[in-house]
Structure 1
């Protein structure tokens, strides 16, 4: 049997990024609505990137619009990466 740990998630087209600092402190500092969205997200988001998108989408003034924008970005990323995992069967 092959060692699956060596090959899992290596076919993904999504870029890997190394974290700097404490991810839990960064997560705890996020607005409550954004933390709630992140808790149900399909993909693992860094607090920094989620907050950047949240702020650009006006999350402070319109949290529901910012969540909708985050959902759209996440769905786009999932569609882009779906071809990698499609085994054709």
Structure 2
């Protein structure tokens, strides 16, 4: 099995991870962990948390923050579909 299990044909770049990615995932708020578990792309806990925190800082509810993540993912998928 290859090392890029969930990458498929996307423009995502391979990167080296600092630390244990599961620890970052485990520290996420439960709604965000749930979103990541069903995401179509292999999001990092760090990038999801950044989008989540930005949305909450701007006054979004948890549901609105998750909707923002859905829109970000849809935009990435649409961009990759144009490849």
Partner of residue 43, structure 1: 41
> Taking structure 1 as reference, are residues 17 and 10 closer, same or farther at Cα in structure 2, changes over 3 Å only?
same
2:32 aligned residue: 34
Counterpart of 2:70 in structure 1 is 71
- Give the TM-score taking structure 2 as reference length: 0.80
1:11 positional shift = 5.6
Please name the residue that 2:18 is paired with. Answer: 20
Residue 83 and residue 35 in structure 1: after superposition, are their counterparts in 2 closer, same or farther (change >3 A)? same
For residue 16 of structure 1, report the CA deviation from its aligned partner: 2.9
The alignment of Structure 1 onto Structure 2 pairs a total of residues equal to 77
1:69 Cα shift? Answer: 0.3
TM-score (ref. length: structure 1): 0.75
Q: Alpha carbon RMSD of aligned pairs, Å?
A: 2.2
State the alpha-carbon separation in 1 of the partners of residues 62 and 9 from structure 2. 34
